[in-house]
Structure formats: structure tokens, C-alpha cells
Amino acid sequence: MPTPDHRRLILASGSPRRRELLALTGLTFEIATADIDETPHPGEPAAAYTIRLSQSKAEAVARSISGGALVLAADTTVADGDTILGKPADPAEARAMLVRLRGRTHQVYTALTVIDADSGQRLTDAAVTDVPMRAYSDAEIEAYIASGDPFDKAGGYAIQNSGFRPVNLTEGCFANVVGLPLCHLLRTLRRFGVRPAADVPRLCQDHHDYLCTVAQAILEGEPSA
């Protein structure tokens, strides 16, 4: 029988970025994906949309598995004001998104939901980070589009792209912008009795070469970062 620290954990996501981040916890996990409708409801705010999708993904996978497990799902949304920016469908849409965001600050929301498939207990947590974009040039936009990287990224960019480096982030949760806010995840897992042995905040900072100013506050219960 697994101990509370070694419960079966299922990541309800096919995202390589989320797999990479979750691996920093040192926890063993399986992968299962959920096929849900991700269309925003009319007038739905970005925060509510993100929470709804994380819950729907977790519920879909929890219904599909056999045996006890904790199911973790997450959803990340890039928003500019009231506008949700999804994944660009083509170079023109990627270009429009990158021009729109250039030199300005927008928000990235991530919601994560953990469901105990045995008991039905469900907890959802959410993070929001203000993301200032640098004033990259038109030539940099074209080179980035040519790389193909924007097309599976909400908002048309990846904060961790070492060639483009589109973001001037100096405060807030870097991992949230990548797609899985690890300190929010830690405080949620603790409520299920799971406490990774790894020093996750330090590993996250080392992995992203980023000095985090909010990790302790999040672990102590601050709502967002």
C-alpha cells in the first residue's frame, strides 16, 4: 500500500513543459490526457475560464481511471485585458499576437485541480502573474515565427525560449507562466498528505535561472503570484 508521500499520481496533461516541471518535485507520476471542449463561454473572464478547464480536465481523467490515484490537471491562459489569447493558428495570427503584446504587460493565469479518485475530494488553486514583454524588433518576431515555436503556445510565445527571450520578468512566479505554478501545487498536495522530499522552490529557481521573490509567500498561503 503506498504511503501518503508516495500515492499514485496522474498528470492529466500531454504538455512536455508540465511534465518537466512536475518532475522537479521528485514525485513519480503517470500521464493521461483529457479530451474536452476548450471553447470559452461568451463573456467568460480569463480566471474563471482557466479554473473551469482545469476542473473539467481533472474530472474527465478521474472518471476514466481504475484504482486509486490523485489526478492533477492544469490549464494556462494568456490574457490581454479582457481578451483571451489562445494558440496562434498561422504565422499571421502569431505575428499579430506578438505585436500586440510587445512592450506591454499582460496577465498569465494558471489553475490547477487535484482530485482524489477514491474519495472524490477536489481542490483547485490558481495563480496569476503580470508579464512585462520587452520591446523586441520586427526582425526578431519574424525569426521566432520561422522557428515554429509560437504555434503550440498560448499568446504565441514561450517565456523559457532562450533564443527569443520575449519577457522581462523580475517578480512573480516564473513556473506559472511556463504552465505549472509549483509552489501552488506544493501547498495543494500538502492538503492531500503529499510532501515531496525535494527542495522544489530552489530546484525551480535553478532550472529557470530565476530569482523568485514570491515562493515563500505562496507557500504560506498568498492567493496568487
Catalytic (active-site) positions:
75
Do the Cβ atoms of 164 and 98 come closer than 8 Å? no
Greatest pairwise CA separation for the chain in angstroms: 57
Q: Say how far apart CA 76 and CA 31 lie, in whole Å.
A: 18
Q: What sign results for the dihedral spanned by CA atoms 43, 48, 53, 59?
A: negative
User: Can you tell me which residue has the cell 474536452?
Assistant: 36
Cα 70–Cα 173–Cα 217 angle in degrees, nearest 5: 85
CA–CA distance, 54 with 179 (Å, rounded to integer): 12
Could you give the dihedral angle defined by the CA atoms of residues 213, 218, 224 and 225, in that order, rounded to the nearest 10 degrees?
20
First to last CA, the chain: 36
Return d(Cα 97, Cα 13) in angstroms, integer. 25
156: which DSSP letter? G
Q: Which three cell numbers stand for residue 70?
A: 490523485
∠ CA 155-44-159, rounded to 5°: 20
